[in-house]
Amino acid sequence: MTRKQLIQLIKEKKSYLCIGLDTDVSKLPKHLQSHPDAIFEFNKAIIDATKDYCVGYKINTAFYESQGLKGWEAMEKTVQYIPDTHFKIADAKRGDIGNTSSQYAKAFFEVMPFDAVTVAPYMGEDSVRPFLEYKDKWTIVLGLTSNAGSDDFQQLSFAHGITEKRLYETVLEKVATWGTTSNLMFVIGATRACDFVHIRSFVPDHFLLVPGIGAQGGSLKDVSKFGLTKDYGLLVNASRAIIFAGGGEDFAEKAKFAAAGYQSEMATYF
């Protein structure tokens, strides 16, 4: 999906909602737990119920890889089932030496039809470059996360000439030169909404993938206020708050209601 197509999709739907398919087997409704293809059946129902309210889905690969071959097959079936009208993200947080990253990129961009994959930048440009080489695909680089451990490294300050700069600022500034606003996004945690104005001084036009809304306590209002651009520039992700909004046989209907609520609020910010 191109940047132009993504922007148009957001505009048409009045939504920049991305739904995270963090499908935890232990949390599936009881009536599905004995199903031979429970993960896919759950995902299929969620997608059918919510696709009118979101512009994309983010598959957290850990929840599938942990289930072995059956989980991997469920992931492949899920990404194939997501309509091509929606942005498809593999939340895999890959990052390794160049030839290994090339194989990761091939897995998510060729073997499976994802539009984007999340990547850790710690090993530098050559570890990210293989993902950026794909036409009309997106590399989503970890920028500033909202977990407690982010202070261990991301917020550390160090001398930069006569000034001081935090590590995450250097990451944003440096990585932005590796790609363009048409193939590069950044992950920015929602629970640090006050940082968005500062972050926009480094990446004013890049799309930001923003997890942490809903169950993790992030404010959609604050993220939208400080993060939106003239081209929207946000994909706000909600996972548990939508897919596990209900735990009974009406789980899909509850997910639909939750997704509609996010979209309804987002529409007021256009």
Element at 40 (helix H, strand E): helix 38-50
Q: Which residues pair with 232 in a beta bridge?
A: 229
Q: Measure the CA–CA gap between 54 and 222, rounded to whole angstroms.
A: 19
State the number of CA atoms in the 13 A half-sphere of 51 facing the CB: 13
Q: Measure the CA–CA gap between 20 and 110, rounded to whole angstroms.
A: 22
Residue 118 · residue 89 · CB < 8 Å:
yes
The set of catalytic residues is 93
Residue 115 · residue 138 · CB < 8 Å:
yes
Residue 91 · residue 115 · CB < 8 Å:
no
Token readout for 128 is 């990210």
DSSP string, 84-139: TTSEEEEEEEE--SHHHHHHHHHIIIIIS--SEEEE--TT-HHHHHHHHTSTT-EE
Residue 215 · residue 240 · CB < 8 Å:
yes
How many angstroms separate the Cα of 121 from the Cα of each of 5, 20, 92, 132, 144?
26, 22, 13, 12, 12
DSSP string, 208-261: EEE--BSTT-B-HHHHHHHH-BTTB-EEEEE-HHHHTS--STTHHHHHHHHHHH
R_g of the chain computed on alpha carbons: 18
